[in-house]
Structure 1
Amino acid sequence: MDRYPSKKRALSPEVQETCIPHSNEPPIPSPTSTTYEEESTDFKLAILASLHPNHNEESLLEALLLSDGSVEQASATLKQHEAAPSKKRPTLSNIGYQSSLSSYISGTTPENTRPAKKLSLTKKTKTIYLYTPEDVEAHTPCSIIHNLLPPEQADALLRELLKEAATYERTTFQLFDKVVKSPHTFCFYVNGQDEVERQKAEFYYDGKKPEHVRCSTPEMLKACAQVEEAVNKEAQRRIQDFYPEQNKLKYQSPDSWKPNTAFVNCYAGPQENLGYHSDQLTYLGPRAIVGSLSLGVSREFRVRKIVAEDDEHCKDDGSLADAQGQISIHLPHNSLLVMHAEMQEEWKHSVAPARTIDMHPISKNTRINITYREYKEYLHPKLMPKCKCGVPAVLRCVQRKRENRGRYMWMCQTNYVPGKGGCSFFQWVEFDDNGLPPWVKATTDQKSRH
Structure 2
Amino acid sequence: MSTDGLTEKKLEQLSKLYRDIVPASPETESFYLEILVSCEGNLEAAVELINDSLGVQRTSETDILCAKGKHEDEAVSPAPKVQKSLNSFIKDPNNKIKSVSEGSLGKISNRAIELFTKEDIETNIKYVSVHKNVLPELLANSLLKKLSQDNDSFTPNQFYLFGKKCTSNHLTKMFSSSEEISAGNIRIYYNSYSLSRIAQYDDDLKMAQLLIEDLVNDCIAQRDLLPYQIRSPNWKGDVVLVNRYYKESNLDWHSDKMTSIGPQPIIASLSLGCSREFRVRKNYPSNSQIYIIRPPHNTLVIMHAGFQEEYRHCVHGHSKNSPLKPHPISGHVRINLTYRCYLRKFLDRCPKCKKCGSPMDLRRAFKDPKTRGQYIWQCSKSYTGQECGGVIRAKFDNDSLTVQNFDEEGSRWLAPDDQEAHSAQDLN
Q: Distance in 2 between matches of 1:341 and 1:211?
A: 28
CA deviations over 1:42-70 (Å, ceiling 9, x no partner): xxxxxxx9996253457434444xxxxxx
Matches within 5 A, 1:288-437: 288-308=265-285, 320=286, 323-355=287-319, 356-418=323-385, 421-431=386-396, 437=397
Q: Distance in 2 between matches of 1:252 and 1:97?
A: 39
Q: Look up the equivalent residue of 2:257 and give its one-letter code.
A: Q
Q: Look up the equivalent residue of 1:248 and give its one-letter code.
A: L
Question: Does the 8 Å contact 2:267/2:338 carry over to 1?
Answer: yes
Cα drift, residue 109 of structure 1: 5.8
Matches within 5 A, 1:75-94: 75-78=25-28, 81-82=31-32, 89=49
**Residue in 2 aligned with 1:213?**
198
Matches within 5 A, 1:25-64: 53=12, 55-57=14-16, 59-64=18-23
CA deviations over 1:6-61 (Å, ceiling 9, x no partner): xxxxxxxxxxxxxxxxx99xxxxxxxxxxxxxxxxxxxxxxxx9996253457434
Q: Distance in 1 between matches of 2:280 and 2:401?
A: 35
Q: Which of these residues, 122, 125, 149, is aligned with residue 140 of structure 1?
A: 125
Secondary structure of the corresponding residue to residue 403 of structure 1? coil
The answer to whether the aligner puts 1:123 opposite 2:108 as a matched pair is yes
TM-score, length-normalised on structure 1? 0.69
How many positions carry a matched residue from both structures? 355
User: Where does the alignment leave 5 or more consecutive residues of structure 2 unmatched?
Assistant: 40-48, 59-80, 403-428
Question: Does the 8 Å contact 1:292/1:337 carry over to 2?
Answer: yes
Q: Distance in 1 between matches of 2:318 and 2:92?
A: 33
Q: RMSD across aligned C-alpha pairs, in angstroms?
A: 3.6
Q: Which of these residues, 367, 385, 398, is aligned with residue 438 of structure 1?
A: 398
CA deviations over 1:143-194 (Å, ceiling 9, x no partner): 2111111211111111221232554111211110100101211011221343
Cα drift, residue 80 of structure 1: 5.6
**Residue in 1 aligned with 2:241?**
263
Secondary structure of the corresponding residue to residue 363 of structure 1? coil
Question: Does the 8 Å contact 1:287/1:341 carry over to 2?
Answer: yes
**Residue in 2 aligned with 1:191?**
177
**Residue in 2 aligned with 1:251?**
228
User: Where does the alignment leave 5 or more consecutive residues of structure 1 unmatched?
Assistant: 1-22, 25-48, 65-73, 240-246, 309-319, 432-436, 443-450
The answer to whether the aligner puts 1:102 opposite 2:79 as a matched pair is no
Q: Distance in 2 between matches of 1:111 and 1:377?
A: 51
Q: Distance in 2 between matches of 1:122 and 1:140?
A: 15
**Residue in 2 aligned with 1:284?**
261
TM-score, length-normalised on structure 2? 0.73
Q: Look up the equivalent residue of 1:379 and give its one-letter code.
A: F
Matches within 5 A, 1:158-237: 158-165=144-151, 167-198=153-184, 202-237=187-222
Identity of aligned residues (%): 28
Pair 140,360 (structure 1): closer, same or farther in 2 beyond 3 Å: same
